Amino acid sequence: MANRITDVEIIPFEVSLENAGTDENGFNIIYQPETVMDRWLFAVRIHTADGEVGEYVNIGGFGNNGPTLAQIRMMTEYLLGKDPLRRERHWSELQRGFRKYDRFGIGTIDIALWDLAGKTYGASISELLGSYRETLPAYASTYMGDENGGLDSPEAYADFAEDCLDLGFLAFKMHGWGPQGTGDRDIDREIATVHALGDRVGDEMDLMLDPACEYETWADALQVGRACDEQSFYWYEDPYRDGGVSQHGHKQLHERLDTPLLQGEYLHSLELNADFIASGATDFARADPEYDGGITGAMKIANVAEGLGLDIEYHGAGPAQRHCMAATRNTNYYELGIVHPRAAGTRDLPVYQDSYQDALTSIDSDGTVPVPTEPGLGVTYDWDYIKEHQIET
């Protein structure tokens, strides 16, 4: 008789981020000296009748993960009594069942089910997927800009890029300032930073720019994109306030720029991503196992990109991303972030009991990070820490 899911344990908990706070609107994490920012994350443990446990700590949430957690609570009822190995079936049923929502909850559930499958078969997730590579070239992905003595000028970004080059990074991605609630469009500072980075390290590093949809107009996006062209940037990602989802707007940008576009972080479905890629509105495809229906969903987007002769770049740092990238030919860089010269990395979390880490110093001299090799996700979570920091919701 097939194994059955008997319990879905959900543990919300708090972590502190040193020297970090939010900008005026509260939507961007920025450097804030002598400030401790509390963030809450959550862990999920799926228990089975055979006594196995599939585990995952959701790490992509910003400050408050409430909406995703609410979906997972609703999904628990569906999962109880089901065969944990039928991931493709559960993915499909939950995609349908949660079609009125962003479906973020599926990501965490699916990753925990892959962890469980790996433990069942005694293989890491990338082995189950079919391993392509054992090390992952990484880029340093920065905090958003601040006005607090951190990343507060074009020179500060160029200095940090040089530090990252010295650490071994092969590539560097800037998240800039945006209007920060003032409504002032200081697009000149963004352009100056693109040039400062290109002039300082452009010959030695691949450079990317991700305004995270901060620019207020398409015209600003075009102007900054032209600076990226002059400095031969590797990609230009989610520039403006359409939220990264307008096919028409990005096709118009694509026609006018040489720098490849990278879109898709905010399209939370296989089909929307496939349409966006096929229409020529992006050059690189994007997927995140937490946002896009787990490892099952992210690998489907990777396969769409492969079939259309394009590359996929996985969003964010974490063990699930490492396994997806390890099993993908058509991909280039691991996003190690979010990092800052003086603040803690946002995914450098105290939840791992083993050597797993996503910190600025986690790369080796070749600029790569390793892929966990133990069964499942291949990480050992520190349940004592997580349970000590558990919070009520």
Interface residues with Mg ion (CB under 5 A)? Answer: 210, 265
Distance CA 66, CA 217 (A): 31
Report the residue number, 206 or 265, with the smaller CB distance to Mg ion: 265
Minimum CB distance to Mg ion, residue 301 (Å): 15
Report the residue number, 208 or 326, with the smaller CB distance to Mg ion: 208
Minimum CB distance to Mg ion, residue 286 (Å): 8
Minimum CB distance to Mg ion, residue 262 (Å): 8
Cα first-last separation, the chain: 37
The residue with its CB nearest to Mg ion is 210
Minimum CB distance to Mg ion, residue 118 (Å): 28
Report the residue number, 233 or 381, with the smaller CB distance to Mg ion: 233
Minimum CB distance to Mg ion, residue 145 (Å): 15
73: closest CA among 50, 98, 38? 98
Helix (H) or strand (E) holding 26: none
Q: How many residues does the chain have?
A: 393
State the Cα angle at 104 between 103 and 105, rounded to 5°: 90
Helix (H) or strand (E) holding 30: strand 29-48
Minimum CB distance to Mg ion, residue 52 (Å): 35
Report the residue number, 190 or 265, with the smaller CB distance to Mg ion: 265
DSSP string, 89-154: HHHHHHHHHTTTS--HHHHHHHHHHHHHHHHHHTSBHHHHH----SEEEEEEEEPPP-SSSSS-SH
Minimum CB distance to Mg ion, residue 60 (Å): 11
Report the residue number, 75 or 245, with the smaller CB distance to Mg ion: 245
Report the residue number, 174 or 379, with the smaller CB distance to Mg ion: 174
Helix (H) or strand (E) holding 224: helix 218-230
Minimum CB distance to Mg ion, residue 237 (Å): 5
Report the residue number, 210 or 220, with the smaller CB distance to Mg ion: 210
Q: Point out which residues pair with 40 in neighbouring strands.
A: 14
Q: Which three-class secondary structure state does DSSP give residue 310?
A: coil
Report the residue number, 91 or 291, with the smaller CB distance to Mg ion: 291
Task: Provide φ and ψ at 339, rounded to 5°.
Answer: -120, 160
Distance CA 346, CA 144 (A): 12
How many CA within 13 A on the CB side of residue 41? 23
